[in-house]
Amino acid sequence: MKKKVLTILFFTIITIILLLIPFAIEKMILCESTFPFNLPIAFSKESWFGFIASYLGAVGTVLLGIIALYQNKKYKELSDSSEERFLTLQEEIKTLTEKSVSLIELNSKLEKAKYYPILSNMNHTYWNLNGNDLENSFDFGKDAFQLSYKKDDPNEMLSSYADVFNQYHTFTYSFKNDGERTIRNFICSAITKNNQHNEMGFWIYQACDIEPGAILRCVYATKFDLAQQCKDGRIRTLSFKYEMENVIGEHFEMTTDFYFSPSPDNEPPDYMMEISPIRKS
């Protein structure tokens, strides 16, 4: 408010001065008692009025030109500064855009990673468990079981996981779902023994779902004594191929390979285990 009053006062004073200047000039020119207006001149008073008017007009033009040049210089400086600032802002915007794109890509990868299956080897293997050993080793209420076995009798009925362990020779190894999502339809799709596909017959490959944090039990069940054949060298290699899905329907696969070495009868089979990375299929 104060600034507005000062602006109005300034323009009022300027207007008054502009109105009084002609009268002041006339008074000075017509004054014959004050130096230098009392000097004798050859021109008439009217000529002097015209000269002074032209002179003041020229002075005003020069002043306006100086002001215009000064304003143009300031405008150019501001323009150069604005252009430089604009280029700087463009670079900053470009950098921010690149960072935003990188963050979007990173966020997308992190989001996808939430759905990628993660199975950690627990380094636990079990041979021929049955009876009370089952309750001590497994939690049938929480553990997930993937069963692979061949039925000699197609009419054979197995009502529980315990039936498989009690009626078959079994080899069991364990993984843990360390991912953030459920792994669905985890199933064995092929078994290779001594570099040859499993023998013909009525094979059952039972799939399972693995909740986050749950333990997966991969069970290979046979009617023959698998452990004995691994110890005496008749079975040198076993390879299991597994397939699975995540909760958004993407398909994955992995393989687990066992290499057995002959070992004494009173000890478990000696083996080396190789697990492939989980690959999208």
DSSP per residue over 48-59, as a string? HHHHHHHHHHHH
Residue 44's pLDDT band, with cuts at 50, 70 and 90, is low
The 10s digit of each residue's pLDDT in 220-274 is 999 889 999 999 999 999 999 999 999 889 999 999 999 999 888 888 899 999 9
The 10s digit of each residue's pLDDT in 197-214 is 766 667 888 999 999 999
The 10s digit of each residue's pLDDT in 62-117 is 777 888 787 787 777 777 777 778 788 888 888 888 888 787 776 766 666 678 89
Share of the chain above pLDDT 70, in %: 78
Mean pLDDT of the 36-41 span: 61
Say how many C-beta atoms besides its own lie within 10 A of residue 229's C-beta. Answer: 17
275, β-bridge pairs: 256
Distances (CA, A) of 47 to 34, 50, 53, 261: 20, 5, 10, 129
- Strand 202-206 and strand 208-210: pairing? unpaired
Mean pLDDT of the 10-35 span: 66
Distances (CA, A) of 221 to 53, 180, 203: 120, 30, 10
